[in-house]
Chain A
Amino acid sequence: MEHHWKQAKGAFAAALAPPGLWLALFFLLPLGAMWLYSFGENAGLTEIALSGTFANYARALEPLYLGIFFKSLAVAALVTGLCLLIGFPVALAITFAPDRWKPWLLLLIMLPFWTNLLIRTYALIAVLRTEGYLNFTLEWLWNAGSWVTSTLGLGALPPFEPLALLHTTFAVVFGLVYVHLPFMVLPLYSALDRMDRSLLEASLDLGAGHLRTIFQVVVPLAGAGVVSGVILTLIPALGAYLTPDLLGGPDSQMIANVIERQFKRANDWPFGAALSFLLMYLTFIAIALQSLAGRRTAGSRR
């Protein structure tokens, strides 16, 4: 039941004009300059000649870079899946909490994210490293277990080998989930908040267990929230570079790290721009496919 814009021209202009103009001037214009650069090449050390060449895109489509793209996508998808799994119950808990607790619970979730990303990552390093807290705790538990087995006469356990958690892809996924969790929780909470509770009560009355209610009633109702949560998590995770840089090992390089090096070390802005735009095109295609699929299933349900 959308209105045609001509039905309320004044309201339409008032709503669309400020964000539209801002976007056009302060975002599309600078980005447009980058888009032009992606068709250019370096002319000397600081100037870029806009020669309309496709060489940068051709280079970006080489197997080396495509491989990195898809690996980054896989990692980002894993991170998003984990965030959804972990974040959905949290959003559920906040939604059904008593009203006076809600802002405090939201604050609880948001607060870690007002700490500087770099410092948080260094804190994670302190937790994950070979002599970090996780290994410390595990060692303590291991020694306690060893004490138990030796008291039981089974002999002591072999000496504790600390887990090498840092500088691995595991650490990168851990760190990315840690950073992106609120981007999943907030949209989910926002959509779940004024969900019609009577539907849930009805479902429970009709005999469905809690889990079934959640999966078959709550999740579909929160659909829009899930989609926006996924978008707000997957895409920044795809473009993350600080976390993989600090927590990753020799083979945890993600596409954003490569792009960053083009803009800085390699001083190859056109190629960096081409890689960035390729990333954006691929993401758009994924979003478009997803919304098409969503529309088709919505149609078939009706």
Chain B
Amino acid sequence: MTQADDKTVMDILRGLKRGASRRSLLQGLGATGVAIGFGGALAGCGPAQPPPGGGEAPTLNFYNWDTYIGETTLADFKAATGVDVNMTLFANNDELFAKFKAGNQGYDVIVPSNEYVTRMAEAGLLLKLDQAKIPNKANLLPEFQDATFDPGRAYSMPYTWLVLGIGYRKSKMVGGAVPDSWRYLFDSRQYAGKIALLSESADLIRLGAKYKGKSVNGLTPDDIKVVEEMLLKQKSAIKAFHDDNGQDLLVSREVDIVLEYNGDMAQVISEEGGEDIGFVVPKEGSLLNSDCLCIPAGAPRPDNAHKFINYILDGEVGAKISQTIQYPTPNRAARDRMPESYKNNPVIFPPPEVLAKCEYGTFEGAEKSQMYEEAMTRIRAA
């Protein structure tokens, strides 16, 4: 036998002596890891047991966007009602919908956007709200007492509202002009290579249609084709399609002009170096959005859920939330308590004559969404 074989035989004989040392090592690793994991998970205790006399456990599973709640709101709610809120986060509406499509995994309150309220309600995924349990509804501004996307507010209560517009870096604008038309994003090469658009197909196509003078709803396949061709032509001028972090691209100087929500832009403007950043809602009008509080069907604790929603609609609580997140609030009582810098901020509350031209996008059925999606795929594949 060769030297190599000798070595192998020696190894094997040594292995026979040592036994299953590999397995014990792995076991040791596993045990240590589990011990650390256990310590970490102890921080979040197990599910609370329901009280002996029936009724709901004093806990609530709240599925929300990130940093979309006041600093002390959850703690205050617990102090006021004794209900412990467990808030988990999601990043966009599609994930929310995809996850709930196969059933509710134990969530009590969720925060979909307006279009998804319609979608989920139509799909039977939402619980009808018991209006009697939400007296704070009276705090809402008149235009939010009812909604086109949720007649009679049967399934949702508004949490915030937003409008899409153009964020820009003032020092990079030609002649210091304010880019108050969608043209600069969709149809002009003035800022070629420094433009970022939202990658959301429905929003993008509908805003393109708005630029062309149409309404955002009721688009025909021909309309979609027109917008698609415009965007195909513009494509070489676009630097990136962002997934709602356009404000970061603007701040880091990757782009100079971006399609973004007013709430995100307001946050960036109020931070370091924000004096050079501006936001404007184009004169052709724009899309309105509203994030709403809903209770998913099959929620284990609907009573607590109603209490929570009612609590959020309180004026004082709403003001504290707006203080933190700086998004436009639909709550009159909350708005009244906010400082002037918030109430008169043109980024947070665009002037009424511009808002008059803005519309809510309605959910027009799955087929329409698929048409938008395919147009987007074609634009990106070209």
User: Is there a contact between chains A and B in the complex with CB atoms less than 8 Å apart?
Assistant: yes
| Contact B125 A46, beta carbon cutoff 8 Å | yes
| Contact B241 A250, beta carbon cutoff 8 Å | yes
Neighbour of B122 across the interface among A45, A71, A262, CB < 8 A: A45
Known: A46-B125, A267-B366. A250 touches B201 (CB 8 A): no
Q: Which residue of B lies closest to A261 (CB)?
A: B373
| Contact B254 A68, beta carbon cutoff 8 Å | no
Q: Is A81 on the interface with B (CB-CB < 8 A)?
A: no
Name which of B3, B201, B252 has the most chain A CB atoms within 10 A of its CB.
Answer: B252
Q: How far is the CB of B231 from chain A (nearest CB, A)?
A: 10
Q: Which residues of the other chain, A, contact B42 by a CB distance below 8 angstroms? A: none
Known: A129-B254, A131-B253. A265 touches B4 (CB 8 A): no
Neighbour of A130 across the interface among B101, B253, B373, CB < 8 A: B253
Interface band, chain A: 20 to 34
Task: Give the contacts of B261-304 with A (CB-CB under 8 A).
Answer: none
| Contact A251 B380, beta carbon cutoff 8 Å | yes
| Contact A267 B97, beta carbon cutoff 8 Å | yes
Q: Which residues of the other chain, B, contact A42 by a CB distance below 8 angstroms? A: 366
Name which of A258, A261, A264, A265 has the most chain B CB atoms within 10 A of its CB.
Answer: A265
| Contact A45 B119, beta carbon cutoff 8 Å | yes
Q: Which residues of the other chain, A, contact B254 by a CB distance below 8 angstroms? A: 129-130, 166-167
Query: What's the A-B contact tally at a CB cutoff of 8 Å?
Result: 88
Q: Is A207 on the interface with B (CB-CB < 8 A)?
A: no
How far, in whole Å, are A264 and B3 apart by their CA atoms in the complex? 60
| Contact A64 B252, beta carbon cutoff 8 Å | no
| Contact A245 B243, beta carbon cutoff 8 Å | yes
Q: Is A89 on the interface with B (CB-CB < 8 A)?
A: no
Q: Is B98 on the interface with A (CB-CB < 8 A)?
A: yes
| Contact B381 A251, beta carbon cutoff 8 Å | yes
The 8 A CB mask of A52-96 against B (1 = contact, 0 = none) is 000000000000110110010000000000000000000000000
Q: How far is the CB of A178 from chain B (nearest CB, A)?
A: 19
Q: Which residues of the other chain, B, contact A99 by a CB distance below 8 angstroms? A: none
| Contact A64 B98, beta carbon cutoff 8 Å | no
Q: Is B81 on the interface with A (CB-CB < 8 A)?
A: no
Q: Which residue of B lies closest to A252 (CB)?
A: B380
| Contact A249 B239, beta carbon cutoff 8 Å | yes
Number of interface residues of B (CB under 8 A): 39
How far, in whole Å, are A24 and B193 apart by their CA atoms in the complex? 50
Q: Is A266 on the interface with B (CB-CB < 8 A)?
A: yes
Q: Which residue of A lies closest to B92 (CB)?
A: A264
Q: Which residue of B lies closest to A260 (CB)?
A: B94
Q: Which residue of A lies closest to B363 (CB)?
A: A45
| Contact A129 B252, beta carbon cutoff 8 Å | yes
Task: Give the contacts of A268-289 with B (CB-CB under 8 A).
Answer: 268
Q: How far is the CB of B92 from chain A (nearest CB, A)?
A: 8
Neighbour of A64 across the interface among B97, B125, B201, B378, CB < 8 A: B378
How far, in whole Å, are A198 and B253 apart by their CA atoms in the complex? 58
The 8 A CB mask of B211-251 against A (1 = contact, 0 = none) is 00000000000000000000000010011110100000000
Q: Which residues of the other chain, A, contact B123 by a CB distance below 8 angstroms? A: 44-46
Q: Which residues of the other chain, A, contact B239 by a CB distance below 8 angstroms? A: 164, 167, 249-250
Q: Is A253 on the interface with B (CB-CB < 8 A)?
A: yes
Q: Which residue of A lies closest to B123 (CB)?
A: A45
Q: Which residue of B lies closest to A65 (CB)?
A: B377
| Contact A46 B101, beta carbon cutoff 8 Å | yes
Neighbour of A266 across the interface among B122, B240, B370, CB < 8 A: B370
Q: Is A197 on the interface with B (CB-CB < 8 A)?
A: yes
How far, in whole Å, are A166 and B248 apart by their CA atoms in the complex? 14
Q: Which residue of B lies closest to A63 (CB)?
A: B381
Q: How far is the CB of A169 from chain B (nearest CB, A)?
A: 12
| Contact B366 A250, beta carbon cutoff 8 Å | no
Task: Give the contacts of B1-21 with A (CB-CB under 8 A).
Answer: 2-4
How far, in whole Å, are A44 and B201 apart by their CA atoms in the complex? 21
Q: Which residue of B lies closest to A167 (CB)?
A: B240
Q: Which residues of the other chain, B, contact A251 by a CB distance below 8 angstroms? A: 235, 380-382
In the complex, given contacts A45-B366, A68-B381, A164-B193, what are 8 additional A-B residue pairs having Cβ atoms less than 8 angstroms apart?
A44-B123, A250-B235, A253-B380, A261-B201, A264-B98, A266-B370, A267-B369, A268-B373
- A-B contacts, 23 listed (Cβ < 8 Å): A45-B119, A46-B124, A64-B381, A65-B377, A130-B252, A130-B254, A131-B252, A167-B240, A197-B4, A198-B2, A198-B4, A249-B239, A250-B379, A251-B382, A253-B377, A253-B380, A253-B381, A261-B201, A261-B377, A263-B98, A265-B94, A268-B370, A268-B373
